[in-house]
Copies of this chain bind each other. A is one copy, B any other.
Amino acid sequence: MLKKERHDFIMRQINLHNRVLTSDLVQLLNVSEDTIRRDLQELVDENLLYKVHGGALSKSYHSSFDDSTVYARDSKIAIGKKAVQLIKDGMVVLTGGGTTILEFVKRLPQGLSATFFTISPLVAVELAKYNNIEVILIGGLFSKNSQVTYGGQVITQLSEIKADLCLMGTSAIHPEEGLTDTYWEINQLKKAMLACAKKTAVLCISEKLDIALRLRVCPIESISYLITELDLDHESLSRYREKELNIL
């Protein structure tokens, strides 16, 4: 087995399970521990995973966890500010959940008059502070992990909405693979959200760039705006700039 194949195998395992043990890989791939360690080190150098004692963890796995520790807050604020530019009076906007979206909401102009649909209770509460914004919370099963509503009922309701713009956070984005996610239900949800908005803006802190997870939400072409905290000419964005995509 070639080294490259091993690397691919390891990355598949990581994206599938979010974690991998050195000892398991030794067994599965039938090579020495040293080889695995070297492989992991090389993947770390390529910024593809996180190495810990005993194995390695997915990079995206992290960020999905510690959101309540106001993780990477500065970046999220920067993204939020950029996203505000997309919002005009009279718009009908659909938003997902997550701390990035929350920072965005906090930075909306006071007088803004608009209609917001959201699947996130926390976003709804925050939006309610604006007098001229009408807030519609889409109800359904409530996800303990991602703190948004999900499930069939949500999708049914989404199908009845026609929004001007959909703002969503992201688990992972990749120039070829597009938007991807780990959980089936969230995947379905995002698809439904995309389907009911004329345009979609993806809010994405830079460390979630160039990552592809198990389930495909949509190709990169389905996205209208990509908003990161980086400067427009930052080299990490070059591969996205080639696509038909407005980068903010």
Name A11's closest neighbour in chain B (CB-CB).
B66
Q: How far is the CA of A5 from the CA of B141 in the complex (A)?
A: 27
Are A55 and B2 in contact, with the CB atoms below 8 A? yes
Which segment of A30-38, A117-125, A177-185, A238-246 sits at the interface? A117-125
Q: How far is the CA of A20 from the CA of B129 in the complex (A)?
A: 28
Chain B residues whose CB sits within 8 angstroms of the CB of A2 once the complex forms: 19, 21, 52-55, 57
Q: How far is the CA of A127 from the CA of B62 in the complex (A)?
A: 24
Q: How far is the CA of A219 from the CA of B127 in the complex (A)?
A: 36
- Give the contacting residue for A138; candidates B11, B60, B135, B139; CB below 8 A: B139
Number of A residues near B (Cβ < 8 Å) is 46
If A2-B54, A5-B57 touch, whether A141 touches B147 (CB-CB below 8 Å) is no
Chain B residues whose CB sits within 8 angstroms of the CB of A129 once the complex forms: 144
Are B141 and A139 in contact, with the CB atoms below 8 A? no
If A2-B55, A53-B2 touch, whether A11 touches B69 (CB-CB below 8 Å) is yes
- Whether A200 is near chain B, meaning CB under 8 Å from some CB there, is no
- Whether A159 is near chain B, meaning CB under 8 Å from some CB there, is no
Are A65 and B149 in contact, with the CB atoms below 8 A? no
Are B3 and A19 in contact, with the CB atoms below 8 A? no
- Give the contacting residue for A147; candidates B54, B125, B139, B147; CB below 8 A: B125
- Which A residues are within 8 Å of any B CB, using their own CB? 2-5, 8, 11-12, 15, 19, 21, 48, 50, 52-55, 57, 60, 62, 65-66, 68-69, 121-122, 124-125, 127-129, 131, 134-144, 147, 149, 154, 157
* Pairs across A and B, CB under 8 Å, 14 listed: A2-B57, A5-B19, A5-B57, A15-B69, A124-B142, A127-B142, A128-B144, A128-B147, A135-B144, A136-B139, A136-B141, A137-B141, A138-B139, A139-B149
Q: Which 9 A-B pairs have the closest CB atoms?
A: A139-B139, A121-B121, A15-B68, A135-B142, A4-B52, A128-B144, A138-B139, A137-B139, A137-B142
